[in-house]
């Protein structure tokens, strides 16, 4: 069709009420919204997919149409979590529900106790749903079934509240801080296998006066103030001598019968109680002692057996199990009998699949089930899963848009025991470990690239399974597989602030390898141990483990990689160790390790490794005041990372480059850089780096005298650093917040921040020989506080001490700040000759490194000079200034 552009424009405008360009953009944004909700990828990937090349422009256009940014749109559209996904109705128990709700009004610790399969969890969920609005802060559910170690109970509760461990507090102390003023119901499900953690619950109750805890357990906790509420089996009617119409009505009033009838009708449409089957149904419920789980399993077989046949088979199999397992507790015999009876009705292939699936700690998908299935099985895995679902051995759930399967804990216990008896457990464990190793290794490479959020979520979804597999590998002394899996996970552990857990897991495996003298001297074993030691060194430094021990870990892994001539691993370890050394102020060694790493990475054409080396050098140049070199190094690192899609890494380095912008006086450039970095990090939900960006932004606001903005931003940073538990970030942000309070005339709050930072530094770093650059900052801040309150002598002594440290470390920008601080204090003591000399020295050094004085310092320095000009003659002033200009770094070093 031949149409002029103007005619085409008018026609499109007429029918769509927008220009062709606007119409296309509208279509692109509609498609983008659908892709976001479909978990196509992160915001960058969606933007490029629909045709936007500029991420900022895409976000702006999206907000104009939908009123929120793409990230906010995703959060608003996410379905709200419920305590439990219920696919069946809740039968009976109304009296128990009413009693438990009443008890919760009078008691703060209530334990629902009873045998496995009695319905404790379901009752607890129903109670929580009904009473959550009675508590100001609602209710939370903590599921403990997948936790094997009682020591993990506090950290599991932390994750339920989206909290992280803090290096200066135990997990229970973090929880107590968070919950002490909250009016909340905390439901803790399946406590029976972690009862040694009961003392932690007592601490929470003592320190959190408005907290109420509802626990489900097969065992009581033996705590003072614990109200024990027994969850008894469902009532079962007596077997009637004669069945009449009235009898049927009476039988249906019993909840055990109601449950059987409802579940049976789900698998056999139209199933009802009648005169012929009533006695058998009551008999079945009686055989199962009214246990809901056992009744449900039995009812699921109605499509195969009549109630009469079912009653006979059940009676026979239960008796057989009891005769074989007299050492079991009485409450287990009936449930075990019900499970055993249902289990014997499975085919051989179904039994084998059930046994294998019982090893999963958490939910699992079809691929995981296929990975551990028997290759010789005539029944396909998918058909087997369908069959087990039909027979109530499995349930389904949905996570990240995929169907996943899960198994009740009582069934898992039975399946695991059967697997042990079959002597195939070790084979299945290896298959499962291989499956999760493939996922972890794939994630380890992609977690550094463009789909970081997806892969972090993917590993998070499998965390319970991975923990279980690592534990099984350790128990069965499958050390090599354990080391492979553990070392593939270290970046995930770091990203999710699970460094302590990761460190301890790898430490156990390394010790076990040494104890077993596992394949001593083999290249594979040495490689795995080296990787583990490197990962331990990184995680140990981040959570302030023993510095010397972590140095030993790094040195040992570097020796190992040299010995086996593994250049890629050697280069990565040298980079990591170089960074640790540089941030510790050991610049010569840090430079040496980083330089060797860079040469190796270049030979290997490892782009990301090259970028990391540039980042290391950029930090060193920044600290030494070589700002143009630092700018060049950081810029190169960002460029290389963006080339390979490492947007997280790019944002990370941008936060450092913004600090260089700050020193160069390019404040707007730095703030814009940080805003762009935050957009990326918010999409990745990386709280650690968001906190770093906020701290850098607060630093710039402080320098530009926007003190209230600095206060708000730094408070946000501190909240983030607390949640991720980063010692360095907490000290830095507290000190900057304290400095921002001084010009706001809030010396009390300022002192509180400084004292906290100083005490925390002493606690975490004093004897660690770690982070020498950071060591001077808390003291600098205390000196500024003393100067503010008029304690000039103490402030001057502190600043001179800091100046000496910074000169030794050649930290040029910070030397300038210390010289200027000393000059102000000398002037206030009327020692104007020294004041002029120190200011002249700072000025010439700033000119040399191209670091202009920040706005917050300009006025105070000018006032200092004005005061000195009034006190000393012009000629003396000029002579002192000239003398100060000769104070090079070498001369300062000789003086101090």
pLDDT value of residue 483: 93
Q: What is the pLDDT of residue 550?
A: 81
- 617 pLDDT tier (thresholds 50, 70, 90): very high
Cβ 795 vs Cβ 748: under 8 Å: no
- pLDDT in the model for residue 312: 82
Band of residue 521 on the pLDDT scale cut at 50, 70, 90: low
Task: Return the SS3 of 2.
Answer: coil
Q: Kindly compute the dihedral angle of the four CA atoms of residues 88, 93, 98, 101, in this order, to the nearest 10 degrees.
A: -60
Question: What is the pLDDT, as a whole number, of residue 641?
Answer: 92
Beta strands in 13-114 (DSSP E): 109-113
What's the whole-number mean pLDDT along residues 312-340?
A: 48
As a whole number of angstroms, the distance between CA 462 and CA 448 comes to: 19
C-beta separation of 820 from 783 below 8 A: no
* 333 pLDDT higher than 50: no
Q: What pLDDT does residue 133 have? A: 83
How far is it, in rounded angstroms, from Cα 11 to Cα 273? 70
Q: What is the pTM of this model?
A: 0.59
pLDDT band at 767 (very low <50, low <70, confident <90, very high): low
SS3 call for 557: helix
Running DSSP on this structure, what letter comes out for residue 33?
H
Query: Is residue 328 very low, low, confident or very high in pLDDT (cuts 50, 70, 90)?
Result: very low
Mean pLDDT, residues 560-580 taken together: 92
Mean pLDDT over each residue of the chain, to the nearest integer: 84
* Residue 859 or 17, more confident: 859
Residue 651 and residue 689 in contact, taking contact as beta carbons nearer than 8 Å: yes
Q: How large is the average pLDDT for residues 298-322?
A: 70
- Averaged pLDDT, 424-446: 91
Q: Which two tokens mark 711?
A: 């206060």
How much is the pLDDT for 69? 86
CA dihedral 448, 451, 454, 455 (to 10 degrees): -30
Q: What is the pLDDT of residue 77?
A: 61
Is pLDDT at 90 greater than 80 in this prediction? no
Half-sphere exposure of 383 (CA within 13 A, CB side): 8
pLDDT digits (tens, 9 = 90+) for 457-481: 888 899 999 999 999 999 999 988 9
Distance CA(588)–CA(578), nearest Å, equals 10
- Specify the DSSP class assigned to residue 305: S
Pair 455, 499: CB distance under 8 Å: no
Task: Identify the band that residue 795 occupies on the pLDDT scale cut at 50, 70 and 90.
Answer: very high
How far apart are the C-alpha atoms of 255 and 231, rounded to whole Å? 14
* Chain centre distance of CA 33: 27
**Mean pLDDT throughout 769-785?**
74
Summarised one tens digit per residue, pLDDT across range 144-201 is: 877 878 888 898 888 888 888 888 888 899 999 999 988 999 999 988 878 888 899 8
Most confident range, picked from 135-149, 153-167, 360-374: 360-374
Residue of higher predicted confidence among 332 and 501: 501
Name every residue whose Cβ is closer than 8 Å to that of residue 184 and which is 6 or more positions away in sequence.
Answer: 135, 136, 137, 138, 139, 140, 210, 211, 212
Q: pLDDT value at position 290? A: 82
List Cβ neighbours of 593 (8 Å cut-off, separation of 6 or more). 574, 575, 577, 578, 581
- Quick check: 430 pLDDT over 90? yes
- pLDDT at residue 669 above 70? yes
Burial of 350: CB neighbours in 10 Å, binned 0-12, 13-18, 19+: buried
Neighbouring-strand partners of residue 109: 213
User: Contact at 8 Å (CB) between 780 and 811?
Assistant: no
Residue-wise pLDDT for 256-306, tens only, equals 888 898 888 888 888 888 888 888 888 888 877 788 888 888 888 888 888
Where does the pLDDT of residue 683 fall: very low under 50, low under 70, confident under 90, or very high at 90 and above? confident
What proportion of the chain, given as a percentage, has pLDDT over 70? 88
Q: Which of 3-12, 431-440, 615-624 has the lowest mean pLDDT?
A: 3-12
CA–CA gap between residue 551 and residue 593 (Å, rounded): 13
Here the tokens at position 422 are 């079959």
Average pLDDT rounded to a whole number, residues 734-740: 95
Q: Per-residue b/e over 210-229, b at no fewer than 16 CB within 10 Å? A: ebbbbbbbbebbeeeebeeb
Average pLDDT over residues 731-760: 92
State the pLDDT at residue 117. Answer: 76
pLDDT at 14 exceeding the cut of 80: no
Q: What pLDDT, on the 0 to 100 scale, is given for residue 17? A: 67
- According to the model, what pLDDT value does residue 575 have? 93
Mean pLDDT of 570-587: 88
* Residue 320 reports pLDDT greater than 50: no
Which position has the higher pLDDT, 876 or 241? Answer: 876
Give the confidence band of 432 by pLDDT, cuts at 50, 70, 90.
very high
Q: Which of 137-141, 294-298, 595-599 has the highest mean pLDDT?
A: 595-599
Cite the DSSP H helix spans in 543-626.
Answer: 547-563, 567-583, 587-604, 607-623
> Vertex 162, ends 440 and 152: CA angle to 5°?
65
Res. 770: pLDDT tops 60: no
pLDDT of 325 over the 80 cut = no
HSE of 773, CA atoms in CB hemisphere, 13 A:
22
Q: Which residue has the higher pLDDT, 90 or 639?
A: 639
């Amino acid at each position: 069709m031949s149409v002029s552009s103007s005619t085409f424009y008018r026609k499109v405008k007429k029918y769509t009420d927008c220009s062709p360009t606007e119409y296309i953009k509208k279509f692109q944004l509609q498609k983008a919204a659908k892709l976001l909700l479909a978990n196509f990828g992160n915001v960058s990937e969606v933007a490029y997919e629909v045709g936007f090349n500029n991420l900022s422009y895409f976000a702006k256009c999206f907000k104009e149409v939908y009123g929120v940014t793409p990230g906010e749109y995703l959060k608003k559209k996410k379905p709200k979590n419920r305590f439990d996904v219920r696919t069946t109705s809740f039968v009976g128990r109304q009296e128990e529900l009413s009693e438990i709700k009443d008890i919760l009004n009078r008691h703060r610790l209530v334990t629902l106790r009873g045998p496995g399969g009695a319905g404790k969890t379901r009752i607890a969920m129903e109670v929580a749903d009904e009473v959550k609005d009675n508590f100001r802060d609602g209710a939370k559910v903590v599921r403990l079934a997948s936790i094997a170690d009682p020591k993990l109970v506090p950290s599991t509760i932390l994750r339920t509240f989206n909290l992280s461990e803090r290096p200066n507090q135990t997990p229970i102390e973090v929880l107590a801080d968070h919950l002490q003023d909250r009016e909340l119901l905390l439901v803790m499900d399946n406590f029976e296998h972690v009862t040694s953690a009961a003392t932690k619950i007592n601490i929470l109750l003592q320190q959190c006066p408005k907290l109420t805890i509802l626990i489900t357990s097969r065992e009581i906790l033996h705590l003072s103030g614990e109200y024990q509420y027994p969850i008894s089996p469902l009532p079962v009617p007596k077997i009637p001598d004669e069945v009449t119409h009235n009898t049927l009505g009476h039988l249906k009033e019993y909840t055990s019968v109601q449950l059987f009838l409802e579940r049976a009708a789900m698998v056999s449409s139209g199933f009802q109680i009648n005169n012929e089957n009533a006695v058998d149904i009551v008999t079945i419920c009686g055989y199962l002692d009214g246990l809901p789980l056992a009744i449900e399993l039995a009812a699921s077989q109605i499509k195969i057996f009549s109630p009469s046949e079912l009653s006979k088979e059940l009676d026979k199999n239960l008796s057989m199990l009891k005769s074989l397992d007299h050492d079991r507790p009485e409450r287990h015999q009936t449930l075990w009998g019900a499970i055993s009876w249902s289990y014997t009705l499975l085919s051989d292939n179904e039994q084998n699949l059930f046994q294998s699936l019982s090893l999963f700690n958490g939910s699992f998908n079809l691929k995981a089930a296929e990975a551990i299935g028997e290759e010789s099985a005539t029944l396909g895995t998918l058909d087997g899963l369908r069959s087990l679902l039909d027979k109530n051995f499995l349930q389904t759930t949905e996570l990240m848009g995929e169907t996943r399967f899960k198994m009740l804990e009582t069934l898992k216990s039975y399946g695991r025991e059967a697997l042990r008896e079959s002597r195939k457990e070790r084979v299945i464990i290896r298959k499962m470990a291989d499956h999760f190793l493939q996922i972890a290794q794939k994630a380890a490479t992609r977690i550094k690239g463009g789909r970081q959020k997806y892969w972090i979520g993917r590993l998070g979804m499998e965390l319970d399974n991975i923990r279980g597999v690592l534990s099984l590998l350790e128990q069965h002394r499958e050390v090599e597989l354990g080391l492979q899996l553990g070392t593939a996970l270290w970046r995930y552990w770091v990203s999710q602030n699970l460094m302590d857990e990761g460190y301890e897991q790898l430490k156990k495996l390394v010790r076990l390898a040494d104890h077993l003298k596992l394949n001593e001297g083999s290249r594979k074993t040495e490689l795995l141990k080296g990787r583990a030691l490197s990962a331990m060194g990184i995680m140990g430094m981040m959570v302030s483990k023993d510095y010397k021990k972590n140095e030993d870990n790094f040195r040992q892994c570097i020796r190992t990689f040299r010995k086996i001539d593994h250049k890629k691993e050697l280069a990565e370890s040298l980079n990591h160790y170089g960074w640790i050394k540089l941030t510790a102020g050991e610049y010569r060694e840090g430079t040496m390790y980083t330089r060797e790493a860079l040469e190796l990475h270049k030979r290997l054409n490892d782009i990301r490794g090259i970028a990391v080396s540039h980042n290391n050098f950029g930090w060193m140049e920044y600290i030494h005041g070589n700002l143009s070199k630092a700018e060049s190094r950081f810029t190169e690192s960002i460029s290389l990372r963006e080339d390979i899609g490492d947007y997280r890494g790019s944002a990370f380095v941008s936060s450092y480059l913004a600090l260089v912008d700050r020193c160069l006086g390019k404040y707007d450039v730095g703030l814009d850089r940080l805003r762009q970095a935050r957009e990326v990090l918010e999409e990745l939900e990386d709280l650690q780096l968001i906190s770093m960006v906020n701290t850098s932004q607060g630093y710039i606001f402080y320098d530009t005298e926007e003190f209230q903005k600095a206060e708000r931003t730094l408070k946000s940073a501190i909240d983030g650093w607390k949640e991720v538990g980063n010692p360095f970030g907490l000290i830095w942000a507290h000190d900057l917040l304290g400095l921002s309070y001084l010009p706001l005339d809030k010396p009390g709050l300022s002192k509180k921040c400084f004292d906290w930072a100083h005490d925390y530094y002493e606690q975490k770093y004093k004897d660690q020989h770690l982070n020498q650059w950071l060591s001077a900052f808390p003291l600098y801040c205390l000196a500024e506080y003393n100067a503010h309150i008029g304690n000039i002598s103490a402030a001057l002594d502190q600043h001179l001490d800091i100046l000496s440290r910074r000169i030794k470390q050649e930290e040029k920008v910070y030397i300038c700040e210390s010289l200027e601080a000393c000059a102000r204090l000398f002037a206030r003591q009327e020692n104007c000759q020294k004041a002029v000399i120190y200011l002249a020295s700072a000025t010439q050094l700033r000119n040399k490194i191209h670091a202009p004085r920040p706005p917050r310092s300009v006025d105070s320095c000018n006032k200092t000079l004005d005061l000195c000009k009034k006190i000393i003659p012009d000629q003396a002033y000029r002579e002192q200034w000239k003398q100060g200009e000769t104070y090079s770094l070498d001369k300062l070093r000789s003086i101090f």
